[in-house]
Amino acid sequence: RAAAAAGLAATVSGSGQAQRSKQDGSAVANSYNLGFDARWEPDIFGANHYGLAASAAALQASAATLGGTQVSVAAEVARDYIDLRGAQARLAIARDNLANQLGTLEITNWRVQAGMSTSLEQQQAITAAEQAAAQLPVLEASVAQLGHALAVLCGQSPAALDALLAPPQAI
């Protein structure tokens, strides 16, 4: 916009030169030269004014784009934060479920040793405990990925917010 506005103003330039010379046996000669130039072009058909208006509109469009980008980043931060807290809650539930499945497996093992349950029930308890354990790495990776995404969106290194976001909290 400033460059377009400059086209409406007059252009002024100046120059100066000084020279001193001496030839063998002659007096010293000084020479000075000053120059001045001014130029202004009338905007008869309004091209420069329309160019200025277009530049101002482009400036406003850039400001609106910046505002839209800031809103998008803020929305992404909010969405990732909510997703992180949800993933942390799912991870806590999965850990509790694994602890329950391991307790059930222990009880089932005692029942099998006492002859009160079959090996089929024992295998089912083992399978349930292994399935519960298999969910943990996926949920842990999801929590780590969302934490890193939040840090990057906030302009931090990937692990910068780990201490702040590590304790699970309500959304």
| Residue 45 domain flag | no
| Residue 75 domain flag | yes
pLDDT of residue 47: 72
- Name 91's Cβ contacts closer than 8 Å, sequence gap at least 6: 136, 139, 140, 142, 143, 168
Nearest residue to 157 (alpha-carbon basis) of 165, 145, 148: 148
Burial (CB count <10 Å: 0-12, 13-18, 19+), residue 102: middle
User: Does residue 168 contact residue 95 with C-beta atoms inside 8 Å?
Assistant: no
| Residue 27 domain flag | no
Count Cα atoms within 13 angstroms, Cβ side, for 158. Answer: 5
d(CA 120, CA 70): 58
The pLDDT averaged over each successive group of 10 residues in the chain (171 residues) is 71 85 79 82 74 84 92 93 94 96 95 92 95 96 93 88 85 80
Q: How many domains does the chain have?
A: 1
| Residue 19 domain flag | no
| Residue 34 domain flag | no
DSSP-derived letter for residue 27 is -
| Residue 23 domain flag | no
User: Does residue 112 contact residue 119 with C-beta atoms inside 8 Å?
Assistant: yes
pLDDT tens-digit readout, 120-160: 999 999 999 999 999 999 999 999 999 999 999 998 888 88
Domain containing 80 equals 71-165
| Residue 30 domain flag | no
| Residue 50 domain flag | no
Structural tokens at position 50: 């329309």
